[in-house]
Amino acid sequence: MPSFRRLLTRLLRRWEHVVTEDDIYYCYRLFLRRPPDPAGFAHHLREMERGISLDELATSFINSEEARGLAGSGPTAIDLGGYQVCIHEQMETEPFLRGILNTREYEPHVRQAIRDRVREGDVVVDVGANIGCIALLAATLVGKEGLVIAVEPNLDNVQLLYAGVALNKADNVRVLPCAASDRSGLVSLTGGSNSQLVDAQQPGASAVYAQTVVLDEALSWLPRLDLLKMDVEGHESFALDGCRKLIERHRPTLIVEFSPSYLSNLGFTDPAGLLDRLLACYQAIRATSAYGDDATFDRPADLMAYWEQRSQELTTSGAVAGDALHFDLIADSGHHRAVR
């Protein structure tokens, strides 16, 4: 039975109708099924400052053309060649998803690397699975005797991932709706579909929380692990630290996104430190990219120098903006060495 004070507080809140930033954020999530776009969020903040009521705010969302268009609509299936992923077209403000919608393609060099390495019966772990572009591809390759584990903390992505699993009848996919890290705990997510992990003790406005897991613990039951793909928006070093035992035990092929400028801007990890972690486990790593790069290195300094050279070349040519070049690093199982 709630106390009188609690009941009174609820009644006061009901009558108060004061709009907060959280109210605006969750109206986007509830009625438009997407994160706020900057221009729209700024508009509703101005309306909040003007004194709009909570009822007026909700009504404006419910009666919007976008919300009416969503009524009864489901995700759109995008064919990526032999399998389909699911996207809500209303989420096209997300650059990652917009690219898939516009091109019907996703990182062909990474997907080819997966095709070249994954065989029937393999076990694949996709860390940072997003909507399943890699996990669902792997599911077509490992067959009924294989297994794919998709690790993804963003609940919007998880729902689209589940939709893709159902659409493709991918019974060999298991979804772990958590963030991989070096310790169990709680984090908040920022950045929309390509979520970044932020300390849960210092969340921003309208924080969305996720549980972190240590893969060495969560996946200790795996009988084998043939390929581990990792794309976790700057959290790669922590996620790798959390699966060192799995890597040592099973010696999988690794495919890890590497964006030095992104890592430096986030301040989580020195880019060379991530390379040190990889080369502590593997004798050599290949640096590949969407721009035709494919070079092998066994020293972090050499790989960093190559990235700086290619970043300058591609920026000068206008192919990439600023220091946005990222490599997809491949460490094949044949080049493994004991973890220090």
pLDDT tens digits for range 320-330: 987 789 999 99
- What pLDDT sits at residue 100? 85
Contact 207, 199 (CB under 8 A): no
Which tokens belong to 161?
């991932």
Q: Is the pTM higher than 0.85? A: no
Who wins on pLDDT, 195 or 224? 224
Length of the chain, please? 340
pLDDT band at 14 (very low <50, low <70, confident <90, very high): very low
Separation of alpha carbons 138 and 82, rounded Å: 11
The ranges of the chain annotated as CATH 3.40.50 are 74-250
Collapsed DSSP state (helix, strand, coil) of residue 288: strand
Mean pLDDT lowest among 70-79, 141-150, 199-208: 199-208
Separation of alpha carbons 243 and 249, rounded Å: 10
- What pLDDT sits at residue 199? 52
- What pLDDT sits at residue 91? 65
- CB half-sphere exposure, 172, CA atoms < 13 A: 20
**CB count in 10 Å sphere of residue 90:** 17
pLDDT band at 4 (very low <50, low <70, confident <90, very high): very low
For the cut 70, the answer to whether the pLDDT of residue 301 exceeds it is yes
Task: Write out the DSSP string of 88-122.
Answer: -GGGTTSHHHHHHHHHS---HHHHHHHHHH--TT-
Mean pLDDT, residues 236-263 taken together: 93
Sheet architecture: strand order including 196-199: 179-180, 208-213, 185-190, 196-199
Mean pLDDT, residues 286-310 taken together: 96
Mean pLDDT, residues 188-192 taken together: 67
CA distances from 40 to 34, 95, 204 (A): 12, 17, 18
Q: What stretch of H or E contains 188?
A: strand 185-190
Q: Give the pLDDT confidence of 28-71 residue by residue, as tens digits.
A: 887 787 888 888 999 999 998 988 887 788 888 877 878 777 76
Mean pLDDT lowest among 19-23, 46-50, 94-98, 310-314: 94-98
pLDDT band at 337 (very low <50, low <70, confident <90, very high): low
- What pLDDT sits at residue 73? 63
For the cut 80, the answer to whether the pLDDT of residue 225 exceeds it is yes
Quote the distance between the C-alpha of residue 314 and its chain's center. Answer: 25
Mean pLDDT, residues 212-220 taken together: 97
- What pLDDT sits at residue 17? 57
Who wins on pLDDT, 219 or 63? 219
Tell me what the pLDDT averaged over the chain comes to.
85
Quote the distance between the C-alpha of residue 115 and its chain's center. Answer: 21
- What pLDDT sits at residue 90? 63
State which CATH number among 1.10.520, 3.40.1130, 2.40.10, 3.40.50 fits the domain covering 74-250.
3.40.50
Q: Give the pLDDT confidence of 144-179 residue by residue, as tens digits.
A: 999 999 999 998 899 999 999 999 999 999 999 999
- What pLDDT sits at residue 12? 39
- What pLDDT sits at residue 183? 93
Mean pLDDT, residues 89-103 taken together: 73
pLDDT band at 99 (very low <50, low <70, confident <90, very high): confident
Mean pLDDT lowest among 6-20, 47-61, 262-276: 6-20
Secondary structure of the chain: what % helix, strand, coil (to 5)?
45, 20, 35
